[in-house]
Amino acid sequence: MNRRYIIFISILAAFAGTLISLVTAFCLSWSSAIGEERKRLTVFAGQATVRADLTLNAARKVLQNAGQFTAPPCSEQHIQEMRLAVINSKNVEEMGYFDAGLLKCTSWGVTTARVAQVASDFTMADGIQVTLRMQPVVTMGKRMTALHLGSYNVLIDPARFADIVLEPEMTLAVMTADGRVFGTQHDPDLAMNRSLLHVPPGPDGGPLSVVVRGVDLHAVLTEPHARVLERVAQQQWLLMPFGASAALLLIGIVIWLARRRLSLLGELGVAVDRRGFSVHYQPLLNMRSGVCVGAEALVRWCRADGSMVRPDLFIPLAERNGLIQAITDQVMHTVIHDFKEHFKAEPDLHIAINICAQDIKTGRFLNVLEQALRDAGVAARHLWLEMTERGLIDTDAARITIARARAAGHAVAIDDFGTGYSSLSCLQDLPLDALKIDKSFISSSGLDLLNSSVTPHIVAMAKTLQLKIVAEGIETREQADYLQALGVEFGQGWLYGKAMPFAEFMVFYQSRKAGGPG
Ligand code: C2E
Ligand code: MG
Ligand code: MG
């Protein structure tokens, strides 16, 4: 992935993130506003159904109690009984007594005119006949709702069925399940309200409505859309800051990720996750015989653009950022995978793996290595471990790890010897097998007086401690001759071969192995 592509993707992600956050905040404020408003309307509609059912039940009770009147019909006492029933009921305006379909007397008194019982609009489940919008003949007042049971009827002001305090822009209709209207407030659209009884209100741009069902009567309450929009605006003030914060956070995360991805460290992390490393092998030779006895495994990071990053650039970075262990594991697995079969055929072939300071301290890598060797059926002696002086500073911990490694069957070499100040104490305190003289001493061997005088001492010391000696960084025949004369047994360097891919190394090895090409 190149820089431009990463920057392009990051800008796109930041833009999309911002858009998503703001749209989410808007949608949330919208649904939250509608939810809040619907709750509020439901409270009003609930009150309305309670009020309507109370009114209906009170009228029903008056009618049912009329059966217990004892006085002769339309006598002074009977009229008094009806009047008392009307007075005691808050909702009933008037009560009438019928005989043979004619109104004989009401709670006002005896009827002199001939008034026939009007046809009812419908009959309720308990037998009460209902006439909506009936014109009272006696008072000739406003239209009433008449309920008729047996010989009696009661008249109720329809306003009583919808008698709650509403906000000015709300409308209310109190209806039966089949849409017969008992009472209204604020002139509702009855056709729409009837359909709402059967089809639940949808989320379209029309008025917001709720239906609350009571025992006999149901309330349909609506409110204009403008009111909902006001509430949405209120909610947005509350939620938009969250949306804006989320957008800022997302932009921050995108910038952070992009910077990480653009930085070498970020790329290295991705390479570790994707196992983007390969291992090259630099031959190790017996200098006297010229026989290749093994190699050092040197990790190579192949970046997505095809370029190779040198280990001296990324290994220190990986060490500082806790990525080195994963790299070591990948190198160990690659080496075992590459050489598994060859190790079985070549009992003396060994590959040296570089171990980082953290791993030397904890010995963690040994468990991974042991498991991998066991799985592949490879003997531990095929893998040498190289540890630099820097990694051996904590001598006590290093001693334990080295002892464990040797007990498992590995040979352990001190790498880049001579570059650290603790070299001598390291050599005496630690149970090592081999010493690799750093290439800075070799490059000037035989030429530079000061360094030349150091190299023989290192060699002498290693011999005293019975360590195998490897000289690294041998580039010229002169250097090789000089080191050989000093008694250095093994050599590694461009004179013999650079670090190369596995297949190439195997060709090299076959041509230089003990006993000639095999
Ligand atoms: P090192 O372990 O001392 O590896 C030897 C380095 O010297 C290698 O460099 C090798 O290519 C280079 N070299 C070999 N012969 C010559 C020569 O004749 N002349 C010159 N000028 N250089 C020569 P490379 O591969 O760049 O590795 C550098 C360092 O990175 C290694 O030093 C080692 O400390 C570290 N490294 C490499 N692979 C790994 C790994 O898998 N794990 C860890 N922890 N460190 C690694
Ligand atoms: Mg090394
Ligand atoms: Mg070295």
Tell me the average confidence (pLDDT) per consecutive run of 10 residues in the chain, 518 residues long.
Answer: 72 85 83 86 93 93 92 94 93 93 93 89 92 81 91 94 92 93 92 84 72 92 84 77 84 81 81 92 96 97 83 90 95 97 94 96 96 97 94 91 97 90 74 93 62 81 94 93 94 96 97 76
Cβ 243 under 6 angstroms from ligand 1? no
Q: What confidence score (pLDDT) does residue 228 get?
A: 76
- Ligand 1 pocket test: pick from 272, 315, 324 the residue with the most ligand atoms within 8 Å of its Cβ: 315
Q: Among 445, 429, 443, which Cα is nearest to 389's?
A: 429
Q: Which ligand is nearest to the CA of 492?
A: 1
- Ligand 1 pocket test: pick from 298, 472, 496 the residue with the most ligand atoms within 8 Å of its Cβ: 298
Cβ 415 under 6 angstroms from ligand 1? yes
Rounded Cα gap, residues 359 and 354, in angstroms: 10
Atom 42 in ligand 1: which residue has the minimum CA distance?
354
Cβ 494 under 6 angstroms from ligand 1? yes
Sheet containing strand 129-134, strands side by side:
109-110, 102-106, 92-99, 152-156, 144-149, 129-134, 122-123
Cβ 312 under 6 angstroms from ligand 1? yes
Q: What are phi and psi of 29, to 5 degrees?
A: -65, -35
Pair 266, 259: CB distance under 8 Å: yes
Determine the distance separating the centroid of ligand 3 and the alpha carbon of 343, expressed in angstroms: 24
What tokens does 201 get?
Answer: 């209100």
Rounded Cα gap, residues 372 and 8, in angstroms: 42
Cβ 475 under 6 angstroms from ligand 1? yes
Rounded Cα gap, residues 476 and 493, in angstroms: 9
Atom 25 in ligand 1: which residue has the minimum CA distance?
298
Determine the distance separating the centroid of ligand 2 and the alpha carbon of 386, expressed in angstroms: 6
**Atom number in ligand 1 closest to CA 353:** 41
Cβ 299 under 6 angstroms from ligand 1? yes
Kindly list the structural domains of the chain, giving each domain's residue range(s) and its CATH number in brackets, ordered by start. Answer: 1-274 (no CATH), 276-512 (3.20.20.450)
Residue 44: how many CA atoms within 13 Å on its side-chain side?
Answer: 24
Distances in whole angstroms, Cα of residue 9 to Cα of each of 2, 3, 4, 257? 11, 10, 9, 11
Q: Among 40, 36, 41, 94, which Cα is nearest to 63's?
A: 94
